[in-house]
Chain A
Amino acid sequence: KQEVTQIPAALSVPEGENLVLNCSFTDSAIYNLQWFRQDPGKGLTSLLLIQSSQREQTSGRLNASLDKSSGRSTLYIAASQPGDSATYLCAVIWGGSEKLVFGKGMKLTVNP
């Protein structure tokens, strides 16, 4: 079964720390992988999309990497801020499918 796992489910850190959020997936034959952010009571905001042929993508303080052979992606957040507090979700599309498979998400709290 194709699954996406995010561990831990929650993380609380002081402001200013550099963070690594983990995502693992079964089956390396992915089409692409996408990271999202969700604030309480809101929809999902797309942060980064990594195609299967890419190793990483960057946007501002965010950097996402992809290692298909080990079934892992990491989202790196530099110099975390209280405004980064949200739930972060990882989602994968495997080849031959139209559907994103989501992890359960990781709730991040950045304390001032």
Chain B
Amino acid sequence: DVKVTQSSRYLVKRTGEKVFLECVQDMDHENMFWYRQDPGLGLRLIYFSYDVKMKEKGDIPEGYSVSREKKERFSLILESASTNQTSMYLCASRKIPGEQYFGPGTRLTVT
């Protein structure tokens, strides 16, 4: 079974803190993705990566950065957390041309 894991299920941070969200997949997938999900807005793509050290902006990259130093690990970084970044964050991976698999999500609250 494909497994995508995320470092935390729940996270509470203060405004201005630097936040790291980690995602690991164990199936040698090329593509990895970070989304955020908000009520009424659906899933929105923040960044994705199609190879080690490669990244592309998604639909809402502002206020975020990413890092992919190893194929199995994709990190999302909030350089200076703000209250409007309170959301559910979902990581996903996919082996071309197959199914996309999601992690369990991290519910981040910024106070």
Contact = CB atoms under 8 A, between A and B. Distances in A.
Given A41-B107, A44-B90, A105-B42, A98 B31 contact: yes
B3 to A, nearest CB: 11
A42 B104 contact: yes
Contact of B105 (A43, A91, A98): A43
Contacts of A89: 43
Interface string A100-112: 1011110000000
Interface of A: 31-32, 34, 36, 41-46, 49, 51, 89, 91, 98-100, 102-105
Closest 8 CB pairs of A and B: A43-B102, A44-B102, A43-B104, A49-B99, A43-B105, A102-B43, A104-B42, A46-B99
Contacts of B97: 31-32, 51
Nearest to B2: A46
Contacts of B111: none
Nearest to B101: A46
B61 interface: no
Given A42-B105, A105-B42, A100 B100 contact: yes
Decide if the interface of chain B is mainly helix, strand, loop or mixed.
Answer: strand
Decide if the interface of chain A is mainly helix, strand, loop or mixed.
Answer: strand
A102 B102 CA distance: 14
Interface residues of B, number: 24
Q: Interface centre among B43, B58, B92, B96, by most A CB within 10 Å?
A: B43
A43 to B, nearest CB: 4
B71 to A, nearest CB: 16
Contacts of A99: 33, 45, 48, 58
A45 B104 CA distance: 9
Given A89-B43, A102-B42, 11 more contacts: A34-B99, A34-B100, A36-B102, A41-B88, A43-B105, A46-B102, A49-B99, A98-B56, A100-B100, A102-B43, A104-B42
Contacts of A46: 99-102
